[in-house]
C-alpha cells in the first residue's frame, strides 16, 4: 500500500489545526482521510472511541482534538480544560495502542513548559518547574498526553510522537472575545473598533510580554513532515524561533486592519508568562522549519476573518 493510500484519522478535523492538516494532506494527494464531527464521534466516550477504531481500523492517527482557549477561558473553566482534554487524549492514545496503530501524532502546546523555564524553551525543560497558573489545567492534561505517548514508545517501541507548537493563528481560528487567544482577539477588537469609527481599543496587560506565533499552515506542514519520517525523539517543539512583544504585535495587527484609533493598555489585567520562545533546533536539524512570515500570515488571517465574519459562531463554555 502506498503511504498516501493509508487510512489516516484526523481527530478534531473541523478545528483550526485539524482542518489545516486535512487541507495539507489532501493537497499532497493523501486519498484516505477520515474526519468525524463531535456529533458523529464523541471523543470523551471511551466506548465510542473504541467502537470507532474497531470499525474504521485507521493506520495512522493525528490527534488535533482538544478543548482550547485563552487566559480568560482557562481561568474561568479549569475543570473542563483539565478533564475533557484528559478524556479525549486518553481515549485516543489507548485505543491507538490497543489496535496497533502504526503511527500516532499527538499535538499539544508550548504552555506545557514551566512558567520561568530558561529561554528559549527546550524539550528537556518539561517538568523542571511550576507552570503558568492561568493555564495549568490545560497544560497538565497535555503533559499527561506527552508522557503517555513517551511511555508507549519506551515500553513497546511504537512510533508515537508529540509535537508542541507555539502560539498558533490562521484560518478557522476562534475570534470570540471571551474564549480566544491573543492574536485572533486583537484582530476582532481592532476590526470592531475600525467599524465603530476607529474607537479606542483596550488590551489586557502591559504589552511587555514576548510571544512567538506560528501560522497553522506551517504547523500542518510540520505534521506532514513527521508523518512521512521516522523521528528519532518522542517530543519536538514547533515554532519559528523568533518572537516579539505583545505591544509590537498589537501595532502590527492595528496597521494590518487599518485601525487609526488609540490603544489603551489595562495593566490591572494579567500578562501571563513573561516570555515563551521555543527552541526549535531539534525539528530544524531533523529537516523542517517554518516558512510563513508573521506579516503575511496576519494579513491572510485578517482577510479570511473579514470574508467569514458573518458565519463565525461564538463559542459557549459551561
Confidence of residue 317 (pLDDT cuts 50, 70, 90): very low
Secondary structure string (H, E, C) spanning the chain: CCHHHCCEEEECCCCHHHHHHHHHHHHCCCCCEECCCCCCCCCCCHHHHHHHHHHHCCCEEEECCCCCCCHHHHHHCHHHHHHHHHHHHHHHHHHHHHCCCCEEEEECCHHHCCCCCCCCECHHHCCCCCCCHHHHHHHHHHHHHHHHHHHHHHHHCCEEEEEEECEEECCCCCCCCCCCCHHHHHHHHHHHHHHCCCCCEEEECCCCCEECEEEHHHHHHHHHHHHHCCCCCCEEEECCCCCEEHHHHHHHHHHHHCCCCCEEEECCCCCCCCEECECCHHHHHHCCCCCCCHHHHHHHHHHHHHHHHHHCCCCCCC
Taking only the tens place, the pLDDT of each residue in 73-118 is 777 889 999 999 999 999 999 999 999 999 999 999 998 999 889 9
Mean pLDDT of 158-164: 98
Q: Does residue 282 have a pLDDT over 70?
A: yes
**Domain boundaries along the sequence of the chain:** 3-173+212-242+275-293
Q: With respect to CATH, is domain 3-173+212-242+275-293 assigned 3.40.50.300?
A: no
- What is the chain's alpha carbon radius of gyration, rounded to the nearest angstrom? 19
Q: Tell me how far apart the alpha carbons of residues 9 and 227 are, in angstroms, rounded to a whole number.
A: 12
Which residues are part of a known binding site for NADP(+)?
12-18, 107-110, 142, 165-168, 181
Confidence of residue 273 (pLDDT cuts 50, 70, 90): confident
Confidence of residue 179 (pLDDT cuts 50, 70, 90): confident
Mean pLDDT of 195-216: 96
What's the confidence (pLDDT) of residue 112? Answer: 94
30, 138, 169, 302: the active-site residue? 138
Entry pTM: 0.93
What's the confidence (pLDDT) of residue 86? Answer: 98
Share the mean pLDDT of the chain.
93
Q: Does residue 2 have a pLDDT over 60?
A: yes
Confidence of residue 44 (pLDDT cuts 50, 70, 90): very high
Q: Does residue 225 have a pLDDT over 60?
A: yes
What's the confidence (pLDDT) of residue 313? Answer: 56
* pLDDT higher at 183 or 312: 183
Q: Tell me how far apart the alpha carbons of residues 218 and 202 are, in angstroms, rounded to a whole number.
A: 30
What's the confidence (pLDDT) of residue 33? Answer: 98
Q: Does residue 200 have a pLDDT over 60?
A: yes
Which residues are part of a known binding site?
12-18, 107-110, 142, 165-168, 181, 189, 204, 211, 271
What's the confidence (pLDDT) of residue 155? Answer: 98
Confidence of residue 177 (pLDDT cuts 50, 70, 90): confident
What's the confidence (pLDDT) of residue 76? Answer: 86
Quick check: is 138 catalytic?
yes
Mean pLDDT of 120-144: 94
Q: Does residue 314 have a pLDDT over 50?
A: no
What's the confidence (pLDDT) of residue 189? Answer: 97
Taking only the tens place, the pLDDT of each residue in 55-72 is 999 999 999 999 877 677
Q: Does residue 260 have a pLDDT over 60?
A: yes
Which residues are part of a known binding site for substrate?
189, 204, 211, 271
Mean pLDDT of 243-255: 98
Taking only the tens place, the pLDDT of each residue in 108-117 is 999 899 988 9
Amino acid at each position: 500500500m502506498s503511504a498516501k493510500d493509508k487510512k489516516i484519522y484526523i481527530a478534531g478535523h473541523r478545528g483550526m489545526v485539524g482542518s489545516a492538516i486535512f487541507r495539507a494532506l489532501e493537497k499532497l494527494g493523501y486519498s484516505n482521510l477520515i474526519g468525524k464531527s463531535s456529533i458523529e464521534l464523541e471523543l470523551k466516550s471511551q466506548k465510542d472511541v473504541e467502537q470507532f477504531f474497531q470499525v474504521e481500523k485507521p493506520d495512522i492517527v493525528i490527534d488535533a482534538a482538544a478543548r482550547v482557549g485563552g487566559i480568560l477561558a482557562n481561568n474561568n473553566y479549569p475543570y473542563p480544560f483539565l478533564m475533557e482534554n484528559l478524556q479525549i487524549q486518553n481515549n485516543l492514545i489507548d485505543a491507538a495502542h490497543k489496535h496497533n496503530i502504526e503511527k500516532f501524532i499527538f499535538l499539544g502546546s508550548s504552555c506545557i513548559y514551566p512558567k520561568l523555564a530558561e529561554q528559549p524553551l527546550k524539550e528537556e525543560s518539561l517538568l523542571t518547574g511550576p507552570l503558568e497558573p492561568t493555564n495549568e489545567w490545560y497544560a497538565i492534561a497535555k503533559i499527561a498526553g506527552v508522557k503517555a505517548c513517551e511511555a508507549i514508545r519506551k515500553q513497546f517501541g511504537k512510533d508515537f510522537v508529540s509535537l508542541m507548537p507555539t502560539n498558533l493563528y490562521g484560518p478557522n481560528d476562534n475570534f470570540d472575545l471571551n474564549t480566544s487567544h491573543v492574536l485572533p482577539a486583537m484582530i476582532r477588537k481592532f476590526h470592531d473598533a475600525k467599524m465603530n469609527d476607529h474607537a479606542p481599543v483596550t488590551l489586557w496587560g502591559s504589552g511587555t510580554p514576548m510571544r512567538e506565533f506560528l501560522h497553522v499552515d506551517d504547523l500542518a506542514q510540520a505534521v506532514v513532515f513527521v508523518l512521512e519520517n521516522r523521528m528519532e525523539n518522542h517530543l519536538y517543539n514547533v515554532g519559528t524561533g523568533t518572537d516579539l512583544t505583545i505591544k509590537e504585535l498589537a501595532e502590527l495587527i492595528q496597521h494590518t486592519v487599518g485601525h487609526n484609533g488609540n490603544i489603551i493598555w489595562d495593566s490591572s489585567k494579567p500578562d501571563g508568562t513573561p516570555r515563551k520562545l521555543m527552541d526549535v533546533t531539534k525539528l530544524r536539524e531533523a529537516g523542517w522549519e517554518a516558512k510563513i512570515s508573521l506579516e503575511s500570515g496576519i494579513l491572510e488571517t485578517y482577510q479570511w476573518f473579514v470574508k467569514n465574519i458573518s458565519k463565525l459562531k461564538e463559542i459557549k463554555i459551561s
